[in-house]
């Protein structure tokens, strides 16, 4: 009988810790202008597309575009359409490197933060029309560990309660 208790306890512990949520995160797959591209002039808007649909809750998503002097050029409301974020840009004749910072919330609730740069160069040599592979720079992980700790805590509590119920029922016999 003791062997059955040990097997049941080991099974309960295994099931408790093996039922963890999936940790898949969406990735940035495209942007207009593309990361590290060279373009002739600043476009009227910026588009960033991810591998999965995004959710639009309050100000959970954002795009900010800065010129080489640090001035923000993004303006107006951000629009979310499926997996794509779009934001209008202020017209500018400045040449140089532009920095894009983004924050997006995937449909599964994971937050994706990252940044990339592109260059505006009026000399006529551009890379914007060249087909390239999807952007492979990893997104910056978001520091929200609360959900992971909450899941582990609830799992430990439920597992402990199941063990107590098992022992209580065993003693009642």
Reply yes or no on whether the pLDDT at 103 is more than 90: yes
- C-alpha distances (whole Å) from 46 to each of 29, 40, 56, 160 are 14, 15, 17, 51
Task: List pLDDT tens digits, range 33-44.
Answer: 999 999 999 999
Of 25 and 139, the one with more pLDDT: 25
Mean predicted lDDT score pLDDT of the chain: 80
Residue 58 pLDDT:
84
140/91 Cα distance (integer angstroms) = 29
Residue 122 pLDDT:
79
Q: Give the global pTM.
A: 0.60
Residue 130 pLDDT:
46
Q: Give the residue from 124, 172, 162 showing the smallest Cα distance to 14.
A: 162
- Separation of first and last alpha carbons in the chain: 13
For residue 103, the SS3 value is strand
Residue 98 pLDDT:
95
Residue 140 pLDDT:
52
Residue 119 pLDDT:
94
Task: List pLDDT tens digits, range 39-92.
Answer: 999 999 999 999 989 988 888 899 999 999 999 999 999 999 999 999 999 988
63/113 Cα distance (integer angstroms) = 10
163/169 Cα distance (integer angstroms) = 10
Q: Give the residue from 74, 72, 69, 99 showing the smallest Cα distance to 89.
A: 74
> At what angle are helices 2-18 and 146-172 packed, to 10 degrees?
160
């Amino acid at each position: 009988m003791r062997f059955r208790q040990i097997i049941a306890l080991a099974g309960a512990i295994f099931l408790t810790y093996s039922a963890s949520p999936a940790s898949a995160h969406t990735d940035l797959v495209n942007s207009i202008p593309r990361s590290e591209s060279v373009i002739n002039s600043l476009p009227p808007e910026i588009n960033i597309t991810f591998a999965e649909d995004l959710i639009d809750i309050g100000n959970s998503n954002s795009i900010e575009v800065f010129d080489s002097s640090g001035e923000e050029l993004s303006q107006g409301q951000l629009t979310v359409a499926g997996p794509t974020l779009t934001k209008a840009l202020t017209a500018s004749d400045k040449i140089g490197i532009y920095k894009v910072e983004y924050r997006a919330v995937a449909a599964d609730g994971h937050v994706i933060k990252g940044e990339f740069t592109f260059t505006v160069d009026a000399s006529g040599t551009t890379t914007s029309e060249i087909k390239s592979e999807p952007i492979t720079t990893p997104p910056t992980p978001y520091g929200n560990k609360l959900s992971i700790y909450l899941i582990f805590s609830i799992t430990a509590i439920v597992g402990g309660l199941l063990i107590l119920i098992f022992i209580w029922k065993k003693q009642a016999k």
